[in-house]
């Protein structure tokens, strides 16, 4: 499939500067694009890449004043315009045929909605409920009395243990484990004894959970992932944690038990959070930060984390230490010390 630049400019409501008849049959990044493809430029940090790109056309901001060898389509949001084109050029999404595969194991007491697709070797235990138009991927496991909401997409090899509650339109990627026991033990009479984990996991509408992420069931009550939360791959969320609406958690983050994360919180990769803390709404936590106390909002970085401006000052001071030592030595030499 291909489009002319005139068609792409019309699609995105952009201003074309180039040959309207030029055909585009692909889309790629500034560094990877070749002739016949379109790319986008939205960040001044990538100006050098823009100058070197081999793309035939590029989306640029409305106020872009530079010259490019590639044709330009000026738009308000180059990234969004590029996304529209990518969707037009992409192959059709994979469609799952409704029905239950003969190799799937579905308990007779399970409640199965209309238009659902249960793929090969999936297991649906007794008392489970699967909402309308949901997809249960190959090899996935839905535990006893769990509820999967309408239009959920559960990819292959996901484990959802007993009594988990998942809202509508959730997406759970392969390898995720929802509802495993929380890490609870007591040292009694010279040995660790398991504390029963009797609660559930509740996942609200429009949540997406990445591959190989684990969300533990509560010791009692619930571990709660609220509406619109987006969780990356390889994230660990412990028992009784609450993640507020529309928060984002990047890969390799770990959140210890009973921590409460507010709404619209952003955690970058490899953040570590100890237990029983409160992180307030709209907090931003930079990558590899260690959180050991309640956070009142704002941007934080470091281990232990401090407000981001302070963290930047500390890093700058450390980088200047070498020059400071040299100056001190020079002064000592002059003084004969």
Query: How far are the Cα atoms of 28, 35, 58, 89 from residue 49, in angstroms, in the given order?
Result: 13, 15, 12, 23
The partner residues of 112 in beta bridges, in order of sequence, read: 130
Q: Given 173, 239, 246, 319, which residue is catalytic?
A: 239
Number of C-beta neighbours around residue 68 at 10 A? 17
Q: What one-character DSSP code corresponds to residue 69?
A: S
Q: What one-character DSSP code corresponds to residue 45?
A: G
- Between CA 321 and CA 278 the distance in angstroms is 35
Count, in order, helices (H) and strands (E) of the chain. 4, 40
Place of tokens 């619209």: 264
- Between CA 140 and CA 177 the distance in angstroms is 10
144 is catalytic: no
User: Is the separation of the CB atoms in 101 and 119 below 8 Å?
Assistant: yes
Residues marked active site are found at 239
């Amino acid at each position: 499939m291909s489009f002319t630049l005139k068609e792409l400019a019309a699609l995105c409501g952009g201003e074309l500067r180039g040959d309207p008849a030029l055909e585009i049959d692909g889309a790629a990044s500034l560094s990877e694009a070749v002739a016949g493809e379109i790319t986008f430029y939205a960040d001044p940090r990538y100006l050098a890449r823009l100058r070197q790109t081999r793309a035939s056309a590029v989306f640029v901001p409305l106020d872009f004043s530079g010259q490019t060898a590639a044709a330009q389509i000026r738009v308000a949001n180059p990234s969004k315009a590029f996304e529209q084109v990518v969707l037009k050029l992409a192959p059709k999404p994979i469609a799952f045929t409704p029905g239950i595969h003969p190799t799937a194991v579905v308990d007779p007491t399970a409640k199965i909605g209309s238009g659902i697709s249960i793929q090969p070797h999936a297991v649906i235990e007794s008392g489970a409920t699967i909402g309308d138009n949901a997809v249960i991927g190959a090899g996935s496991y839905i535990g006893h009395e769990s509820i999967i909401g309408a239009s959920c997409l559960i990819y292959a090899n996901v484990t959802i243990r007993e009594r988990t509650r998942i809202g509508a339109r959730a997406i759970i990627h392969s390898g995720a484990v929802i509802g495993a026991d929380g890490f609870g033990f007591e040292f009694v009479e010279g040995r660790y004894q398991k504390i029963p984990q009797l609660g559930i996991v509740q996942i609200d509408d429009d949540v997406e959970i990445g591959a190989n992420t684990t969300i533990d069931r509560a010791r009692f009550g619930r571990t709660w992932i609220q509406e619109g939360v987006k969780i990356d791959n390889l994230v660990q969320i412990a028992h009784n944690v609450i993640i507020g609406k529309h928060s984002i958690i990047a890969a390799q983050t770990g959140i210890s038990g009973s921590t409460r994360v507010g709404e619209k919180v952003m955690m970058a990769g490899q953040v570590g959070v100890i237990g029983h803390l409160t992180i307030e709404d709209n907090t931003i936590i930079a990558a590899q930060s260690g959180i050991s106390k309640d956070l009142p909002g704002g941007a934080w970085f470091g281990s232990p984390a401090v407000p981001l401006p302070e963290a930047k000052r500390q890093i700058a001071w450390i980088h200047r230490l070498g020059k400071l030592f040299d100056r001190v030595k020079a002064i000592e030499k002059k003084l004969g010390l």
